[in-house]
């Protein structure tokens, strides 16, 4: 996926990283650099840093880093090429034609087209005899024809290859259908449909592409829901059902449901801001996406035990992103779909009342505690208030804490002063634990033990540190490369990834090419940009002198020789003899 260097250079020039990032993050200057609250994880103190000098960014909190393209990739949820296109368009630049290997991009486009055609096919089946039972099922769930059309619902007929045959006839290749996970091979090597005899729910991304399908069986057979597996255009953990519609809602909230039917029922009833995860528990990635569109998430899961467990888990995940959380509990053990159906024409009003009466996540947790003890007995009250004190110590907002301390004391008759002390005690304990964790994190970072920063090369800490410092030095001082290379040829680098980076750096500089994060990461694989940005961020304040550079080289050479001695010591006598013979031959050649 190599784009021409001069194109990327121009793209970078016209999209200054500070300017681009400030559209998403409020940045303040700190020395040469700029800092702000990280848009990729929830935080209260700024650990997200932009380095104008190296045109890169790095977050010390979550380890995300890269160049301006990497930033847009994450901020706009695009792949590499689409991020480049996004920036090119912003700067009024033409994308170079056919200059890069775009086979993956082409496959993605084909998968989108196949999915769209499949969605049309499934929808059309509702109006033919083979799909009659599908339509009847949707009607039995009280979905109006308008709703069915709006969500593009459909039916996969009870046939081995109806969709596959249809798509092959439309000119799609077998390999494309397999990659799209619409078809699979049977034992005889023929293609069969993945979805058969199921009601179909297309999953549409925020840009309007059909990325996947969920299929529901209408009997008690298992699995009840079958979803598209991950494909080149779809990742289950990074998409939400109906977000394409909910993002346009006038509401400032999003309702998070468990199932497709709940979401559709809510939209039909007038709550156009409901979304659902795709048959899996909520992921951190999805929480980050939610945060892009709202500050308040209303969790509305099933009332059964599994649903309540999932609620507790979701609260933890959403809290991490700094979202306001409300928990809506549907009465009488119903799920939202059943509740709205049950109330018929009053569905909207009844659900709206529930929505307005939702407590925040703290109220939810307190009422859950209350249910687990009998607070009519002294013993139950003791246990309840002890746990409640722990719970309240997890709340950062002092006013919020004080309000709940007041209510709980009134409810149980416990002395306010006493209860306040208990909460404070727990709070101090929590802060101490946090400080300890923070201390540990910083120490690991300083000693280079952080797994993110040394890429699994834990045993070679000293060498890794020197290599990273040297690479950072050379990126900032490219004129020193020739000299350094003479003393330290690439094969002497101790760790694999750094050797690769160093090699690319030398090749590029010697042939007169630029060496920014963008240039380097386009030659390295996945996450290359984040690794380089991390390297720069951790070394930019290190000594930048020639002396320091010589030190780095010496440390690497020193560690390298130590290592080969160690490696030899660990091998068998035969191996060592062979190794010595090899050394002798090399010497003879040089003579």
Beta carbon nearer to Zn ion, 62 or 178: 62
Is-contact 303 260, C-beta < 8 A? no
Q: Which is nearer to Zn ion, 74 or 108 (CB)?
A: 74
| Least spacing, CB of residue 349 vs Zn ion, in Å | 42
- The CA distances from residue 250 to 299, 300, 318, in Å, are 18, 19, 22
Q: Cα(407)–Cα(424) distance, rounded to whole angstroms?
A: 17
Q: Which is nearer to Zn ion, 51 or 373 (CB)?
A: 51
Task: Please state the closest distance from residue 530 (CB atom) to Zn ion, in A.
Answer: 11
CA pair distance 322, 43, nearest whole angstrom: 7
Q: How far is the CB of 76 from Zn ion (least distance, A)?
A: 16
Please tell me the distance from the alpha carbon of residue 570 to that of residue 13, in angstroms, as a whole number: 51
Q: How far is the CB of 316 from Zn ion (least distance, A)?
A: 18
> Is 341 in contact with 350 (CB distance < 8 Å)?
no
Which residue's CB is nearer to Zn ion, number 62 or number 375? 62
Q: DSSP 3-state assignment of 378?
A: helix
Q: d(Cα 368, Cα 354) in Å, to the nearest integer?
A: 18
Q: Measured between alpha carbons, how far is 165 from 162 in angstroms, rounded to an integer? A: 5
Q: Decide whether 120 or 320 has the Cβ nearer to Zn ion.
A: 320
Alpha-carbon separation of residue 333 from 22, 303, 313, 346, 348 (angstroms): 47, 5, 19, 19, 19
Are 67 and 13 spatial neighbours (Cβ–Cβ below 8 Å)? no
CA–CA distance, 234 with 213 (Å, rounded to integer): 10
Query: What is the smallest separation between the CB atom of 578 and Zn ion, expressed in angstroms?
Result: 49
Here the tokens at position 60 are 């010390």
What span, in angstroms and rounded, lies between the C-alpha atoms of 383 and 107?
Answer: 59
Residue 152: CB atoms within 10 A of its CB come to 16
The alpha carbon torsion through 102, 108, 112, 118 (nearest 10 deg) reads 120
CB of 536 to Zn ion, least distance (A): 16
Q: Which two tokens stand for residue 400?
A: 């919020």
Cβ at position 39, least distance to Zn ion in Å: 8
- Distance between CA atoms of residues 462 and 442, nearest Å: 17
Name which of 61 and 380 has its Cβ closer to Zn ion: 61
Give the Cα separation of 53 and 49 in Å (integer). Answer: 12
Cβ-based nearer residue to Zn ion, 224 or 452: 452
Nearest residue (CB) to Zn ion, 58 versus 213: 58
Mention every residue, 6+ apart, whose C-beta is less than 8 A from residue 515. Answer: 474, 475, 478, 505, 508, 509
Q: How far is the CB of 59 from Zn ion (least distance, A)?
A: 3
Minimum Å gap between C-beta 35 and Zn ion is 12
Judged by the rule CB under 5 A, the positions of this chain that interact with Zn ion are 38, 40-41, 59, 61-62
Residue with Cβ nearer Zn ion (28 or 588): 28
Closest CA to 389 of 428, 359, 358: 428
Whether 494 contacts 464, CB under 8 Å? yes
Nearer to Zn ion, 72 or 481 (CB): 72
Give 264 or 517: the residue with its C-beta nearer to Zn ion.
517
The DSSP result for 64-121, as a single string, is -EE-HHHHHHHHTT--HHHHHHHHHHHTT-PPPSS-S--HHHHHHHHHHHHHHHHHHH
Min dist. Cβ of residue 68 to Zn ion (A): 17
Give the nearer residue to Zn ion in terms of CB position, either 330 or 535. 535
Q: Kindly state the smallest distance separating residue 38's Cβ from Zn ion, in Å.
A: 3
Q: Tell me how far, at minimum, the Cβ of 229 lies from Zn ion, in Å.
A: 29
Q: Pairing mode, if any, of strands 324-327 and 296-300?
A: parallel
Closer of 48 and 260 to Zn ion (Cβ): 48
Q: How far is the CB of 58 from Zn ion (least distance, A)?
A: 9
């Amino acid at each position: 996926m190599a784009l021409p260097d001069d194109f990327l250079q121009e793209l970078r020039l016209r999209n200054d990283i500070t300017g681009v990032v400030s559209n998403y993050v409020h940045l303040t200057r700190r020395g040469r650099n700029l800092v702000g609250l990280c848009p990729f994880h929830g935080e209260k103190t700024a650990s997200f840093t932009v380095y104008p000098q190296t045109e890169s960014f790095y977050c010390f909190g979550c380890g995300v880093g890269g160049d301006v393209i990497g930033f847009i990739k994450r901020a706009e949820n695009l792949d590499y090429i689409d991020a480049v296109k996004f920036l090119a368009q912003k700067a009024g630049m033409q994308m170079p034609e056919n200059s890069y290997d775009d086979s993956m991009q082409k496959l993605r486009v084909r998968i989108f087209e196949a999915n769209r055609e499949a969605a049309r096919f499934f929808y059309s089946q509702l109006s033919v005899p083979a799909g009659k039972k599908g339509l009847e099922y949707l009607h039995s769930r009280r979905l109006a024809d308008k709703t069915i059309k709006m969500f593009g619902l459909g039916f996969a007929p009870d046939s081995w290859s109806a969709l596959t045959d249809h798509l092959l006839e439309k000119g799609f290749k077998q390999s494309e259908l397999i990659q799209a996970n619409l078809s699979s091979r049977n034992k005889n090597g023929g293609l069969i449909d993945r979805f058969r005899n199921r009601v179909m729910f297309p999953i549409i991304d925020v840009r309007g592409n059909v990325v996947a399908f969920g299929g529901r069986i209408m009997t008690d057979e298992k699995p009840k829901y079958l979803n598209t597996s991950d494909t080149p255009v779809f990742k289950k953990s990074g998409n939400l059902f109906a977000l394409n519609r909910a993002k346009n809602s006038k509401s400032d909230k999003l309702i998070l449901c468990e199932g497709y039917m709940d979401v559709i029922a809510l939209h039909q009833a007038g709550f156009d801001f409901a979304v659902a995860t795709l048959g899996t528990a909520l992921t951190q990635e999805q929480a980050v996406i939610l945060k892009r569109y709202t500050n308040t998430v209303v969790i509305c899961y099933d009332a059964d035990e599994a649903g309540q467990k999932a609620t507790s888990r979701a609260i933890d995940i959403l809290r991490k992103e700094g979202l306001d959380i409300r928990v809506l509990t549907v009465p009488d053990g119903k799920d939202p779909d059943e509740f709205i159906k049950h109330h018929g024409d009053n569905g909207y009003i009844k659900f709206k009342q529930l929505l307005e009466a939702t407590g925040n996540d703290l109220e939810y947790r307190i009422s859950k505690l209350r249910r687990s003890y009998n607070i009519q007995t002294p013993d139950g009250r003791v246990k309840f208030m002890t746990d409640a004190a722990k719970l309240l110590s997890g709340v950062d907002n002092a006013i919020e804490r004080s309000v709940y301390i007041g209510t709980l004391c009134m409810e149980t008759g416990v002395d306010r002063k006493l209860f306040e002390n208990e909460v404070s005690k727990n709070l101090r304990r929590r802060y101490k634990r946090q400080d300890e964790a923070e201390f540990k994190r910083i120490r690991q970072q300083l000693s280079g033990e952080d797994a993110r920063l040394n890429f699994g090369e834990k045993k070679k800490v000293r060498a890794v540190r020197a290599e990273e410092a040297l690479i950072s030095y050379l990126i900032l001082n490219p004129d020193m490369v020739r000299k350094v290379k003479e003393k330290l040829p690439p094969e002497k680098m101790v760790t694999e990834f750094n050797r690769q980076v160093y090699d690319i750096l030398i090749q590029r500089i010697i042939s007169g090419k630029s060496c920014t994060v963008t240039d380097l990461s386009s030659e390295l694989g996945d996450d290359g940009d984040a690794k380089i940005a991390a390297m720069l961020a951790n070394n930019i304040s290190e000594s930048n002198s020639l002396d320091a550079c010589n030190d780095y080289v010496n440390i690497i050479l020193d560690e390298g020789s130590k290592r080969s001695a160690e490696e030899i010591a660990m091998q068998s006598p035969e191996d060592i003899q062979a190794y010595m013979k090899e050394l002798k031959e090399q010497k003879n050649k040089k003579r």
